[in-house]
Amino acid sequence: MPSLRTPTCSLVLAADDVAGLASFYGSLLAATPQAGASASHWRLPLPGGLWLDLYCPSRERPLPRQRGRLALCLQLEGGELGLRDAVQRCLELGGRCLEQPRQESFGWECWLQDLEGNSLLLLAP
């Protein structure tokens, strides 16, 4: 990985199947996963100049799967129709719907889980 001269910002997500989860998010975001610093590291460009870094935790320091308070939020265009299309794509890729899509005062949202049980919020303002 080349050294960077200016700071960047990324979200870091531990994964048991790094390549599989990179493929899941790549398909969902229509982005090409990129090899990272090692065979157990993949990167995806996110809208707004952010990166999603996926890595396999060390066997000496494993990270258990859990539903926490941190979630990846992907903001979509297209209102209800755009959200429903993205939810369907997520389910086809192996994700799991936690709640049905619903309209809130700020737009349409749906809470899901990715292939490894990480929280994912799809939001269409």
Whole-number Å distance between alpha carbons of 99 and 82: 17
Residue 42, beta-bridge partner list: 35, 54
Q: Which domain holds residue 51?
A: 8-57
Judge whether 82 lies within some domain: yes
Q: Which CATH number do you get for residue 37?
A: 3.30.720.120
- The predicted pLDDT at position 77 comes to 87
What is the pLDDT at residue 30?
A: 92
Split into its structural domains, the chain has a count of 2
Residues counted in the chain: 125
Q: Is residue 32 part of a domain?
A: yes
CA separation, residue 16 to residues 13, 64, 122 (Å): 10, 10, 23
pLDDT of residue 106: 83
Q: What was the pLDDT predicted at 125?
A: 84
For the chain (125 residues), the mean pLDDT of every run of 10, in chain order, is 57 89 94 90 89 80 60 87 95 95 90 91 89
Q: What is the pLDDT of residue 1?
A: 45
pLDDT attached to residue 92: 96
> In terms of domains, do 80 and 105 share one?
yes
